[in-house]
Amino acid sequence: MKLTNSAINPDYSASEKARYLMLERQRADRNRERSLLVRSAAEVGIDV
């Protein structure tokens, strides 16, 4: 779901936009956490 309006994408309600933004934030947080864990594991010599 993209938040831009076009002929293809309908207008999204405020709750749909909020849900999308929250899901994107959670995805970004999860990716950031994974990156930190992989870096930390590499520093102590654990193969991932």
What is the reported pLDDT for 11? 84
Whole-angstrom Cα distance, residue 48 to residue 27?
21
What is the reported pLDDT for 25? 98
Q: What is the DSSP string of 1-48?
A: --S---SSSPP--HHHHHHHHHHHHHHHHHHHHHHHHHHHHHHTT---
CB contact at 8 A, 7 and 16:
no
**Which residue, 13, 15, 27, is CA-closest to 5?**
13
Q: pLDDT tens across 7-44, in order?
A: 566 689 999 999 999 999 999 999 999 999 999 999 99
What is the reported pLDDT for 38? 96
Please, which pLDDT band fits residue 47 given cuts at 50, 70 and 90?
confident
